Chains A and B, each alone.
Chain A
Amino acid sequence: MHRVLGDRRAIAILLGPALLVYSLIMLVPIVWSLGYSFTKGNTIDGFTGNGVANFSRLLDDPSVHESLWFTLTYAAVVTVGQVVAGYLLALLYVFFLKKSSALIRTLAFFPVVLPTVAVGLLFQKFFQVAPQTGPVNSLLNAVGLESIDFFGSAGSAFWVLIVMDIWRSMGFYAVLLFAGLVDIPDEVLESARLDGASGLRLIRHIVLPLSLPVLMSSLIFSINGTLKVFDSVVALTNGGPGNGTTPLTLYMFQTSFTYSDYGYGSTIALLLTVVCLLVSLVVYRVSRRDITEG
């Protein structure tokens, strides 16, 4: 009976176009980009072979070190922040708001769909000190504190970026984790309560272990996205002040299109790809072990 479903011509017609487009737009360029890493130049001026010069430059380039460090710290802080904030919200939904949480869930979710560029510009104006004192600084003034020039130093700009990205995504992770928490059977919670577990102890010993799988998949999803951060940074700080908030993605973009060095740009893109794969692999391994042992 499987003969109809194994019809090779039909499979080719159904799968062929998608596979072709995917190969031409994604697979071929990936390999091609690898080739670019050994060249110097750009589309307009042409390319010349450059051996491994781009790779030795990559190792010694202080801007690469800074932006790699920025990417990793940003990804670590935002991932933890998103998932922890989302988990707290999910706990709030499940254990305190109960049935009435649907409206709050929907409201807290909506920043996820907003265009990042718009949110970035909004936060820029919200935290600004000049030409107009923004709401955050006027709040500081109101309680007797000095205005802070948030975008004047890389350190404070970094934290505005973190706050913005957690603001954008915590509702999303709350819904994701909420689905995991609701799946915990009521009987388990009831019997734990009868055994005298309540409040934090209930969460620590019953709820947390049971929601570990969905927590881990949230972490993996989050780190995969945050390592590729681009829009938020470009819209909020454009990498500044100086290059204090420049992630690898933006450094690659600037190298390629501002300085027209496609060869070196490809090398940075390759580094980014390797970092993404390595980090995902490590998190994946760790999470598998935790789930099977825990």
Chain B
Amino acid sequence: MAIDTPVKTAADRRPSGTTGSPRRARPSRRPWVKIVVTLLLVVEIYPLIWMFLTSLKSNDDYLNNSTWSLPTTWEWGNYSEAWTTGHLGLYVQNSLLAVLPALALMLLLGTAAGFALQIMVWKGRSLTLLVFLAGMMVPPQMILLPLFTVYFQAGLSGTLWPLVLTYTGTGLPLTVFMMATYYRTVPRELFEAATIDGAGILRAFWTISVPLVRNALLTVGLVQFFFIWNDLLIALTFTNNQDLRTIQVGLLNFTGDFGATQYGPLFAAICINVFGTLLIYLFLNQKVMKGLTSGAVKG
């Protein structure tokens, strides 16, 4: 249903605000603008500061003193407790083992398919792209139960393979769509010229086209990384064993493992989870913003 609307390419979404027109020349000096911006920043950032300060409190400190107060003693040990006793280290390892192979597979298959759908010329390619696009509409609930049966009967339950496979499959529609869109900016003549020089088209795909869309690969990879890393539904469905929990499932069940809740380590675990993604964002924010917003054009 989306095929006849003009699809905005990544190039349309150039990083904005760099044009030096008079309208955007100087920030407004009105006082209410300052108030609104300050309020916005407090609302966005204070919860994180509160979370960080709370992660350094002891249980008594948390339960008995005001929520606004600084920690009476700075309990850095909460972090090591969350990491080891709270098994967060294991959960992070599981997440990496599920996310990274899925990401690599998805990018490899998606780029090849994007190339075949956009650069290669054949009948039925727009229909095939539409079939991929349809996958983005369907809620994942629709595929969980049959997949559960298949993985169970194939003896894959009890490993991380169900996660790797499911993430790859569910990530492909967006990857294929985005890569096909990026290939739109690459002229076909380039490959025709290359093949005259004797390179096969498969070779031209790998040695010429992949370096050309290197940037796009990083952008799509980042977007998909956040989607998979933050996923709860699929991880919750296929990790029926405590040793297989990903970081999100582990965090959700964090309270239970301690018996009586240890608030310090719980907040430390939330912090580790949040600051991990925040760190990536700190270095690559422009790419992340561009990627996530260009992934949003499905209408």
Contacts and interface: CB of A to CB of B under 8 A. Distances in A.
A113 B188 CA distance: 35
B155 interface: no
B145 interface: yes
A133 to B, nearest CB: 6
B44 A18 contact: no
Nearest to B225: A113
Nearest to A219: B299
A138 to B, nearest CB: 5
A189 B23 contact: yes
A59 interface: no
6 contacts: A4-B201, A95-B23, A113-B280, A117-B252, A132-B63, A178-B17
Contacts of A109: 285, 288-289
B109 to A, nearest CB: 4
B142 interface: yes
A218 B165 CA distance: 30
B214 interface: no
Interface string B141-184: 11111111110110000000000011011101100100000000
B104 interface: no
Given A21-B172, A175-B293, A14 B116 contact: yes
Contacts of B47: 122-123, 126
A5 B139 contact: no
Q: For the side of the interface on A, what is the size category?
A: 35 or more
Interface in A189-240: 189, 216-218, 220-221, 224, 227-228, 230-231, 234-235
The interface residues of chain A, by DSSP majority, are classed as helix
Contacts of B23: 94-95, 98, 186, 189
B122 A98 contact: no
A118 to B, nearest CB: 4
B271 to A, nearest CB: 8
A28 interface: yes
Contacts of B195: 4
B36 to A, nearest CB: 7
Interface string A11-28: 101110111011011111
Contacts of A178: 16-17
Given A11-B116, A132-B67, A22 B132 contact: yes
Contact of B1 (A92, A99, A280): A280
B292 to A, nearest CB: 6
Contacts of A249: 139, 141, 233
**Most chain B beta-carbon neighbours within 10 Å: one of A15, A30, A94:** A15
Contacts of A18: 109-110, 112-113, 172, 176
Given A14-B120, A230-B232, A272-B142, A221 B298 contact: yes
A135 B37 contact: no
Contact of B142 (A19, A97, A273): A273
A256 B226 CA distance: 27
A55 interface: no
A118 B251 contact: yes
Nearest to B45: A107
Contact of A14 (B30, B33, B202, B278): B202
10 nearest CB pairs, A to B: A25-B169, A18-B113, A220-B299, A32-B146, A29-B143, A14-B116, A29-B146, A15-B116, A18-B109, A269-B141
A220 B297 CA distance: 9
Interface of B: 1, 13, 16-17, 19, 21-28, 30, 33, 36-37, 40-41, 43-45, 47, 50-51, 54, 62-63, 66-68, 105, 109-110, 112-113, 115-117, 119-122, 128, 131-132, 135, 137-150, 152-153, 165-166, 168-170, 172-173, 176, 188, 191-192, 195, 200-202, 205, 226, 229-233, 236-237, 247-248, 251-252, 263, 266-267, 270, 273-274, 277-278, 280-281, 285-286, 288-289, 292-293, 296-299
B41 A107 contact: yes
A13 B113 CA distance: 9
Contacts of A182: 16-17, 19
Interface string A233-264: 01100000000000001001100110000100
A138 B120 contact: no
Interface of A: 1-2, 4-8, 10-11, 13-15, 17-19, 21-22, 24-30, 32-33, 36, 43-44, 89, 92-102, 104-119, 121-123, 125-126, 131-135, 138, 167, 171-172, 175-176, 178-179, 182, 186, 189, 216-218, 220-221, 224, 227-228, 230-231, 234-235, 249, 252-253, 256-257, 262, 265-266, 268-270, 272-273, 276-277, 280-281, 284, 287
Nearest to A265: B145
A113 B278 contact: yes
A221 B299 contact: yes
B139 A24 contact: no
B40 A108 contact: yes
